[in-house]
Amino acid sequence: MEQTFIMIKPDGVQRGLVGQIICRFEQKGFTLKGLKLITVDRPFAEQHYQDLSAKPFFSGLVDYIISGPVVAMIWEGKNVVLTGRKIIGATNPAASEPGTIRGDFAIDIGRNIIHGSDSVESANKECALWFPDGPVNWQSSLHSWIYE
Ligand code: RTP
């Protein structure tokens, strides 16, 4: 089953949105396979965002991500990478639809409260980077009530 990496950024944690964000993924039917509250250092944040290292906003983005604890998660489910991105909404909250996490809770692109992997390939890389010991191996008893 597909997995994705989701991170509640420092602003989401500071604003007390952790519960509401987790709730949206749970309500959809996805399964939580990894969860930790962690403050990362600059080299780790630079590694996570290495594909964006040439962007003008890169150092501000890294400052933002290391500014406080983040909630790192692995979520599992059918099409969870793409559906997770839809639940999160567009990168710029100004363009995010109401009903999405960024559309409901954020205003500025540089304070958009959550990250979600943008492809299965990035998801696998990011899950391995943040959870080197792998996901928690458990099977939800709801499986047959969610999938036909
Ligand atoms: P994320 O990686 O955080 O899920 O966001 P994303 O795929 O939707 O967007 P991406 O292009 O990968 O950008 C990563 C994060 O960088 C910040 N950003 N700032 N100032 C700017 O123009 C700008 N553009 C992007 C955002 O926090 C974005 O989520």
pLDDT of residue 89: 98
Q: pLDDT value at position 120?
A: 98
Match 């993924």 to its residue by tokens.
25
Q: What is the residue with the minimal CA distance to atom 28 of ligand 1?
A: 91
How far away, in angstroms, is 91 Cα from ligand 1 center? Answer: 6
Burial label for 56, CB within 10 Å (0-12, 13-18, 19+), is exposed
Which ligand 1 atom lies nearest to the CA of residue 117? 4
Distance (Å) from CA 80 to ligand 1 centroid: 19
* Beta-strand pair 3-8/31-38: unpaired
At 147, is the pLDDT very low, low, confident or very high (cuts 50, 70, 90)? very high
Q: Of 23-27, 47-51, 120-124, 140-144, where does mean pLDDT reach its minimum? A: 140-144
- For a pLDDT cut of 70, what percent of the chain falls above it? 100
Model pLDDT, residue 32:
98
Q: Is 2 in the pocket of ligand 1 (CB under 6 A)?
A: no
Closest to 61 in 3D by CA, of 118, 11, 124: 11
Structure ipTM: 0.91
Return binding residues for ATP: 9, 57, 85, 91, 102, 112
Q: Which amino acid is at 70?
A: V
**Annotated active-site positions, please?**
115
Q: Is 110 in the pocket of ligand 1 (CB under 6 A)?
A: yes
Which residues have C-beta within 8 Å of that of residue 101, sequence separation ≥ 6?
A: 21, 24, 87, 88, 89, 113, 114
Reported as type and span, the H/E element at residue 76 is strand 70-76
Q: What is the pLDDT of residue 30?
A: 98
